[in-house]
Structures are given as structure tokens and as C-alpha cells.
Amino acid sequence: MGCPDWPKCFGKWVPPTEVTELPFNYRQIYLEKRQKKVEKFCKFLSAIGMKETANKIKNDPEVYVEEAFNPARTWTEYLNRLVGFLAGNALLICFLWMLFRYRKSGLVGIAFLNLIILGVEAWFGSIVVATNLVPWTITLHMFLALVIVAIQMYVLYKVSPVQSRKLSFDKTMRWMIYIVLGITFYQMFLGTQVRESIDLLTKQGFGRDTWTDKLGMAFYIHRSFSWLVLGLLAYMAFHNEKSEKHFAVRLAFIVLAIELTSGVLLAYADMPGLVQTSHLIFASLLFGILWMTSLRIKRINR
């Protein structure tokens, strides 16, 4: 982890750049703080009937490993939190604007629901930090992020004159869009599981050059499904150029091409860290494009 605490980073709103800025026993200090948070979270899990999961977290020695200060990781995590903070404020501003502009519309309730989910997501982000990246917490964190994006895009679709314009597709293309959207959604969860496996391999001391050989079935399914999505989107792009020529389909194909390129680099170039980040970003962009396109589909019988 880049930052051992939340919402601050090493107890500061602006994180340090050198280890000399931290107390000599900083690892013990933040380990004790995380332990207290883990205990509270385990009590919560037990209270909602997840005693087995709570015990696994509580008895997992990896949860209580405090890593040494790494300025690159720390500032990467810090910038990620800044982006999240700005996104959260943008959602809040959007909700306040809708209170005045659409106060009699059901969209206000949807926007408010999204704010609540955002609050849960922020809280759960602190749990991900406290539990030292326990695998399933990363997946759930990702799922909540996608839900937030999907809801906000639905609100945008309802209020934007441009995005509310319907797109005409024949029956085959409509089904293709829904299928590719579903596979992309599933692919993101497979990718998260691959990321979790990589975190485990890293903790076990394996280097980047050995990750590909040691990843489980999720990696091979994820890789195979990528080619399936490419085939489907290639057909959609070809069909689109012969008929409607919608920009959204063209953009989806371009984003997928970049996404697959980053995926190939991850699999065959020892998985460089920067490519890992871009892989997730382009996957999220593809999901967003396909989701908005599915909302804008015009129902026609042909």
C-alpha cells in the first residue's frame, strides 16, 4: 500500500517524499492503527452473519504486514485519492444543481442514491487500506465504482440534450451491444481477480517476470475473452461502417484496440506498472461507452 491510513496519508493531507519525514517507528504506529480498524470491520462482518469471512481476515498474517515507505507508491495512491475527492465533489455539485433544476423529478432520488453509494465506496476504500488489500475487498471496491459510474451516466443520459438522442441499430447490432457490454463487465471482474493474484505473488516475493506463468485460470479466461470481445466488436465496427456509422461504435473499437495492446504488453512484457494502470483506465472507458450506447438504443423492428 502507498498510504497505510485513510483519508490522510501517513497522517498528513500532503504525504511525505522521504522516509526521514516520518517517525523512526512509523511502521509500528500505522500497524496498530490498522489493527484497530480491522477489528472493527471484523465485528461488523460478524454482526451481519459473515463470521467465517471475519475470522479469515482476523487470522490472516498478510493483513498485519506493514510495508516500508515507498515514495512512488505513496504519491500514486495520493493522486488517486485526489481524483476520487474531485469526483466526489463533482457528484455533490451535480446533486445540488439537480435539487433546483429537477426537484420534482425522480432523478433527484437517483442522484441522492449515488451520493450514498459514493459514501459507502469511500468508507470501503478505507477498509481496503486497513485490510492490506484482502482480495475480495478489491473486487467489491471495483464493483461499487462501476455502479457509481453507471448511475451517473444514466443521469447524464436523462438530462443532456446530446446524450439523450436515440441511436438507431438493427436487431443484430442491438443484441451485440448488450452482449459485449455484459462480457466487458465480466472481464473487469476477471481482471480484478488477476490483480488480486498479482498482489499475492508480490507478497510471496515473486518478480514481475514470473507472474504470467504463475497466474491461475482467471488469467487465461480473461485473456481468451479479450479475443472474443475483439471479434465481436470488429464485426460491429464493420457492420457499423456499412450502415449507421455511429461514432460511439467507432470509439468503442478504438478504445478496445488500445486496451488489447496494453493487455498484450501486460502478458508478454513482464507486466510493467504503468501499463497495468492504463489497462484498467481503458477498460473503464470501454464499459462507459458501451453502457451509454446501450441506454441510447432506439427500439426499431428490423
Is cis: bond before 7, omega within 30 of 0? Answer: yes
| Position 204 in a domain | yes
Residue 192 to residues 143, 216, 267, Cα–Cα distance (Å): 10, 13, 15
| Position 277 in a domain | yes
Residue 241 pLDDT more than 70? yes
How large is the average pLDDT for residues 135-143? 84
**What pLDDT, on the 0 to 100 scale, is given for residue 138?**
83
| Position 46 in a domain | no
Element (H, E) at 167: strand 167-168
Using 50, 70 and 90 to split pLDDT, how confident is the model at 236? very high
How large is the average pLDDT for residues 260-277? 75
Amino acid making up residue 137: T
| Position 159 in a domain | no
Residue 285 pLDDT more than 60? yes
| Position 254 in a domain | yes
Using 50, 70 and 90 to split pLDDT, how confident is the model at 67? confident
- Chain-centre distance for alpha carbon 193: 12
Burial class (CB in 10 A: 0-12, 13-18, 19+), 38: buried
| Position 109 in a domain | no
Residue 136 to residues 96, 160, 190, Cα–Cα distance (Å): 34, 36, 12
| Position 281 in a domain | yes
How large is the average pLDDT for residues 18-39? 87
**What pLDDT, on the 0 to 100 scale, is given for residue 137?**
84
Instruction: Convert the pLDDT of each residue in 187-225 to its tens digit.
Output: 988 888 887 777 777 777 777 667 777 777 878 888 888
How large is the average pLDDT for residues 16-23? 89
Mean pLDDT, rounded, of the chain: 86
| Position 222 in a domain | yes
Cell of 279: 489497462
CA distance 144 to 183: 18
How large is the average pLDDT for residues 154-165? 89
Residue 91 pLDDT more than 60? yes
**What pLDDT, on the 0 to 100 scale, is given for residue 113?**
93
Element (H, E) at 168: strand 167-168
* CB contact at 8 A, 62 and 38: no
- Please state which of the ranges 129-133, 154-158, 178-182, 255-259 shows the lowest mean pLDDT: 129-133
Total domains in the chain come to: 1
**What pLDDT, on the 0 to 100 scale, is given for residue 152?**
93
Own/partner long-range contacts of 41-49 (Cβ < 8 Å, ≥24 apart): 41/127, 41/130, 41/131
Amino acid making up residue 34: R
Q: What is the CATH number of the domain that holds 248?
A: 1.20.120
Cell of 252: 468503442
How large is the average pLDDT for residues 269-275? 67
**What pLDDT, on the 0 to 100 scale, is given for residue 1?**
61
Residue 271 pLDDT more than 70? no
Cβ-based neighbours of 162, under 8 Å, separated by 6 or more: none
Least Cα distance to 37 among 122, 132, 119, 139 occurs for 132
CA distance 291 to 295: 6
How large is the average pLDDT for residues 22-48? 88
Residue 300 pLDDT more than 70? no
Alpha helix (H) residue ranges in 59-207: 71-101, 107-130, 135-159, 171-203
Task: Residue 174: give the domain boundaries.
Answer: 166-302
